[in-house]
Structure 1
C-alpha cells in the first residue's frame, strides 16, 4: 500500500470527488479525511497517474520548478 500525503481533503464531498476520479481504476483506493491522505495499491506508473489526478483536482501540491512558476503567475 502506498500512502500519498494530500492537502485540502476536508469533507465527504472531497472523498467523493477523489473516488469518482480514481476508484474505478484503483479499487484498493482509500481516502482518509483525518490524515488528509490517500492509500492505494498500485505500481509506479499508477502512483504517478494518481498523483497527477490528485494535483489536477487540487488535493496535491505538485512540487517542481514549473509548478512553482505556474503558481507564482496565477496568484
Structure 2
C-alpha cells in the first residue's frame, strides 16, 4: 500500500519512518522526492500505520487544523 505523506525532507526522515514502522511492516520503502511511503501490510494494520505516520509528523491530521498545517508545510 502506498501512502502520500508530507515533510519527508532527508535521509534522517526516511530512517525515522523505517525505524517506527519496521515492527509492524516487513517492507517499508520511502521516496523523498515524491513524499511517498510504501508498506507491505495487511488491511487490519493500515490505520495503525497511518496513525504512526501522523504522530511522527509525516501525515497531516484529518482535522481542519491538520489539513491547514499540511497545506502550509508543502
Q: Normalised by the size of structure 2, how large is the TM-score?
A: 0.79
Return the alpha-carbon distance in structure 2 between the equivalents of residues 23 and 7 of structure 1: 19
Return the alpha-carbon distance in structure 1 between the equivalents of residues 39 and 67 of structure 2: 28
Aligned to 1:17: 16
Change (3 A) 1:71 1:22: same
Deviations, residues 29-63 of structure 1 (Å, cap 9, x unaligned): 11111110100121222111110000000000121
Aligned to 1:6: 5
Runs of 4 or more, structure 1, over 6 Å off, are none
Return the alpha-carbon distance in structure 2 between the equivalents of residues 47 and 31 of structure 1: 16
Aligned to 1:48: 47
The structure that has the greater radius of gyration is 1
Change (3 A) 1:3 1:70: closer
The gaps in structure 1 that reach 5 residues or longer are none
Q: How many residues align?
A: 68
Q: CA RMSD in A?
A: 1.9
